[in-house]
Structure 1
């Protein structure tokens, strides 16, 4: 099997994070079509797709009283409420992908992870490995998890990716890169211009400078993405941060076509 490409469709891309339970159906369907065209034109890399929970999971978590780092005295109602919200968005994503003809294998972190203060301690990633071997498209997402210390936690797509990538690096196939698709042209400098290339160290130094995510967010937005991408670069895995709202940008990134409107965080 060729090296795997991980793809995240950010919650700010496929939903309106300033609203409540609002899907950007046109964007979602176009992204699914771009992925389907790539999948149908070998040679192509196997893909693991993850998506954020946007105006579904983040809003539900806030409404349920979730506070990162603080235990809930009665987590059961919040678990159910948040899980319902993220599952609703996931069904929209899976529906768009299957309508585009893609062989989706849906994989829920809430059924596979137990976390401790938000960090997965016990997990079962074998289904993702076998789905890739079978030629399927594993699709996962940021999810609520049972947590040994706090009762529940929110496991971001970034955390899910880190856990899956660590597992695949041990048992194969290797992971080559991650495409982070959001609603900005990569990472901007102080003048609003895209930074085309960053090292892991440069990406880390920018974490405190990025603005807070628009709308409701309980996991960290771009700051978390930079932290994750810099850590992956030190493991030898490239990241591209690109604007998925622009038609065919995602398709071009899948094909490794050059594009000035993105940020490359280089491995090594």
Structure 2
């Protein structure tokens, strides 16, 4: 009979490894802090609210990769620390390759998001403008994200993220190429866990540093809070309330840039061109 783990027990080996690999964890947090600083500077004045246009692919991917490092490195650092402690290769390059593989998967997700946004803007012919279907699409996106929080697929993906030891033992590959592959695999589970939260960020304003911080906080809470059900149900409730507010009274949503209210930045909403 399989023994049921107590809340937070599956995370214990990773947190223990983080205490041993403090230098590595500090480096990841420093990279995240640098990413936040660069993102705040780069995005100043560019938040035009829901469905902000993404610019060129090269520009968007540059911003996206830095955003992912800023948002994800703090919550994935215990997993990378545990990998560093378990690997027989004591080279400092191996955990960095793991982190690079993780970012590589999120980069691929960013390309997919860009392509989806470009296709939606072209097909909609301006229908995603805020005063047309944009507001409703944003609200529904948040409601769908709330529902996804309670699905079996979300539960499976989050389980992989919250059990670093189980993931590493099940996906272990030796060598530097193996480190890159394992990082990419871990990133894939993370994308499965967090894609709806990232879609919510697009619906609220992908260039909004405030909402970027909120989504990053929700991701960290889900991955590290000992009470897993409290975290997922709390996130679902938060997204549901946001979705309802966005549909009913968008002006009541804090830190939301409502297109057409003034203060528009240098980019235009998707589908408004």
* TM-score for the superposition, normalised by structure 2: 0.31
Q: Which has the higher helix share?
A: 2
CA radius of gyration, larger in? 2
Bigger relative CO (Cα 8 Å, ≥ 6 apart): 2
* TM-score for the superposition, normalised by structure 1: 0.32
